[in-house]
Structure 1
Amino acid sequence: MLLSNLSDCTVLIVDDSPENITWMSEALSSFYQIKVTTSGKEALKLLKNNQIELVLLDIIMPGLTGYDVIKEIRRDPKTHDIPVIFLTAKDTKEDEKIGLKLGASDYIHKPINVSILKSRVKTHLQNKRSRDILSNQNDYLEKEIKNRYEELNQMQDAIVYSLAGLAETRDPETGDHILRTQYYVRALAEELSQKSKYHEKLCDNVIDAYFKAAPLHDIGKVGITDNILLKPGKLTFEEFEEMKKHPMLGLQTLLKAEKRLGKPNMLLNAAKEIAYGHHEKWDGSGYPEGLSGENIPLSARLMALADVYDALISRRVYKDPMSHDAAKSIIVKGRANHFDPEVVDAFLAIEDKFIDIAETYSG
């Protein structure tokens, strides 16, 4: 698409005078593809069915006038940007204002000078070609940016799942748990986002970050010994104290990743909140910090309910699975002590989604 080569451009000549059409065609046909018509109505059909780069348009014609035609050209998105040069015997400033207001690119006054005709047509075709080239480049760049963004997102997701897989290798029961809790968190966040209190905070990007970060909630368990992590019976006080270190181990791992990155990242920030805070309780009786209420990050409050619910309905080496109703009863009892009351209310509003998620990712 070179500016110097315009021979593939098609110029449409619209004039009710066959004589005018003949000599303008002869003047331009050596340089461009030419289509002609003496009718405004026929001109619109040609524009609809052909690739036209420029229109030479007479104003005074029977039936549809040039003014009528250009209105239709500018109304249609497919033809909106085609340059239109009016051919007219009207030579007042007021006439030109009307045409330019309707979207004319230029005026050539009759009687038409051949040199002026060739010069104006070439100029406007070059301008259109330049705009088309720029538009195509912008479209290309936008597609490239979108593709690169998607590639980076896919890479980021792959890294997250690889890290989460470390915890899974230590505890084989966590695989489906990771998937289920991820979808529980998103469902809760989407429900809470309907409340005016959370509408701005839980925008799509934040919910997506929570969703992608959720699999990392137990990443710190890679630092817990097998005799504690896989113990079939109840943990001793000392063993439980050791298990309680996994939020800090998870935070330290993610802080190293953040330091390596060298700049803030929404996903890593959500992952830090979730890994470090999902064992905190609304009444302050949780660990590792003993945070309470809204001092606990929202992402961690969502994860807390998702994590407990899934642990209750799942089989573990130390217990049989509970029914949804039994797990629901425990969640409700934990309202305002273990769990954020609003998160519990969101859970109750979408409990059918929890059931569906549990069935879909039952392993």
Structure 2
Amino acid sequence: MENMERPGSVPQILIVDDVDANLMILENIILEMGYTPRCAASAGEATKLIAESLPQLILLDVFMPEMDGYEFCERLKENPITRDIPIIFISAADSSEDKVRGFKLGAVDYIGKPFEVTEVTMRVKNHLKIYEMQQELELSNRRLHSVISSQARRIEEEQKNILYALATLTEGKDTDTRFHLDNVAYNCRLLAQSLQFSPEFSEEVSESFIDTIGVASRLHDIGKIQTPCNILAKPGPLEQKEMEIVKRHVEQGAAILERIYDSTPENSFLPMAIEIARYHHARWDGTGYPERLCRKDIPLSARITIVVDIFDTLLGERCYKKAYSKEESLKIIEEGSGTFFDPEIVDVFLKVQKQLHHEEG
């Protein structure tokens, strides 16, 4: 059924009755009211007229051949295009049971036959006014929702830009990691897209998940903004005390993002960003930090980021290590499958490794 715009602003009233005399009387009443009548002798004819142009109100007889008014009303109310059109039953069957049945099916009123012209006129006017007000309210709500959604998107975009700037500042503490965040974001999205085709992950990895991880994974190390530069830039291995300070960045990063999320709970990417920030140093066998989570207790977003983050770190030169070749890095990832990394994610990662992106500063 096609929802066609009615021409002009004059309301169209659909009259459905198999008795010609009733059609003529009701048609004249509607014309006298200044509205446009459209007449049908059956539910089938009425359906064709509705497909051409939606009426603003329907006057519907109950007893008709082929399909009675009750069944036709029920079908109209089941259709999302026609369910809001007000229906007034006009019938000789005007017992309490008949009226209750009509109202239960979604009719707005019930006029008994023989009907009075004044009664039909007043009830049609009243229900048209109510329908018009409902349509105006719905339009206002849609406009309001559009404005609110636009504002929410703008706020989220501004938050994203600020957080990216913070994350870039963190990255800037180590001159060897200039493109690390871009690499991680790109490869997390690519890996998530690939996992979508695996039966093991198809239900959890939606298009929304893919879009979100491309944003959220970029913030995985945002907590390092609170880590002293002399520790991050130290050549060679860290002392135990220094390592404990570095480990704090996962909780510090999650805390930064949680504070922002508390003020804007409608944000779409922060919940995943918090997961990744907190758990991107977890390990499949439970030997990671901060909470020694293991296996699938580690959120999927973090399990993806763990593989991608370490792979990109292996490929790049750091103040504490040389750069590994791609072959060496892939071998390390493969050897870590089932201990450091989710083995099913590693299997997919190795299949798409030729598509992975790495740019070094």
Length-normalised TM-score, structure 2: 0.71
Taking the aligned partners of 2:188 and 2:117, their CA distance within structure 1 comes to: 72
Taking the aligned partners of 1:273 and 1:87, their CA distance within structure 2 comes to: 61
Kindly indicate whether the alpha-carbon contact (under 8 Å) linking 2:195 and 2:345 is maintained by their aligned counterparts in 1: yes
Aligned residues with identical type, % of pairs: 30
Match of 1:31 in 2: 33
Kindly indicate whether the alpha-carbon contact (under 8 Å) linking 1:251 and 1:275 is maintained by their aligned counterparts in 2: yes
Change (3 A) 1:225 1:65: closer
Return the letter of the residue paired with 2:82.
T
Match of 1:132 in 2: 135
Kindly indicate whether the alpha-carbon contact (under 8 Å) linking 1:10 and 1:32 is maintained by their aligned counterparts in 2: no
Taking the aligned partners of 2:78 and 2:287, their CA distance within structure 1 comes to: 66
SS of 1:56 mapped into structure 2: strand
Return the letter of the residue paired with 1:353.
V
Match of 1:8 in 2: 10
Does residue 83 of the first structure (1) align with residue 86 of the second (2)? yes
Deviation (angstroms), 1:124: 1.9
Change (3 A) 1:76 1:263: closer
Aligned length: 344
Taking the aligned partners of 1:261 and 1:65, their CA distance within structure 2 comes to: 56
Does residue 352 of the first structure (1) align with residue 351 of the second (2)? yes
**Deviation per CA, 1:302-338, whole angstroms, max 9, x where unpaired?**
5443222112234668645512x4323212333566x
Consecutive unaligned residues of structure 2, counting only runs of 5 or more, are: 1-8
More deviation in 98-107 or 45-54?
98-107
Deviation (angstroms), 1:119: 1.7
Deviation (angstroms), 1:145: 3.6
Taking the aligned partners of 1:35 and 1:74, their CA distance within structure 2 comes to: 21
More deviation in 278-287 or 153-162?
278-287
Does residue 160 of the first structure (1) align with residue 163 of the second (2)? yes
Kindly indicate whether the alpha-carbon contact (under 8 Å) linking 2:184 and 2:217 is maintained by their aligned counterparts in 1: yes
1:160-309 paired onto structure 2 within 5 Å: 160-171=163-174, 173-185=176-188, 187=191, 191=195, 211-219=214-222, 220=224, 225=229, 229=233, 235-237=235-237, 245-248=245-248, 252=252, 255=255, 278=280, 292=292, 294=294, 298=299, 302-309=304-311
Match of 1:56 in 2: 59
Deviation (angstroms), 1:52: 0.6
Taking the aligned partners of 1:275 and 1:86, their CA distance within structure 2 comes to: 62
Does residue 74 of the first structure (1) align with residue 86 of the second (2)? no
Match of 1:3 in 2: none
Taking the aligned partners of 2:122 and 2:254, their CA distance within structure 1 comes to: 66
Deviation (angstroms), 1:125: 1.7
Match of 2:6 in 1: none
Taking the aligned partners of 1:79 and 1:357, their CA distance within structure 2 comes to: 50
Taking the aligned partners of 2:139 and 2:96, their CA distance within structure 1 comes to: 36
Change (3 A) 1:308 1:43: closer
Deviation (angstroms), 1:148: 3.1
Taking the aligned partners of 1:22 and 1:226, their CA distance within structure 2 comes to: 92
Change (3 A) 1:194 1:147: farther
SS of 1:111 mapped into structure 2: coil
Match of 2:4 in 1: none
SS of 1:8 mapped into structure 2: coil
**Deviation per CA, 1:266-322, whole angstroms, max 9, x where unpaired?**
9667656755765566778878x7x64539965666544322211223466864551
Kindly indicate whether the alpha-carbon contact (under 8 Å) linking 1:52 and 1:82 is maintained by their aligned counterparts in 2: yes
Q: Out of 134, 148, 151, which is 1:148 matched to? A: 151
Consecutive unaligned residues of structure 1, counting only runs of 5 or more, are: 1-6
Asked which structure has the greater CA Rg, the reply is: 1
Q: CA RMSD in A?
A: 4.6
Does residue 110 of the first structure (1) align with residue 113 of the second (2)? yes
Deviation (angstroms), 1:165: 1.6
Taking the aligned partners of 1:169 and 1:336, their CA distance within structure 2 comes to: 33
Change (3 A) 1:190 1:108: same
Change (3 A) 1:122 1:26: same
SS of 1:160 mapped into structure 2: helix
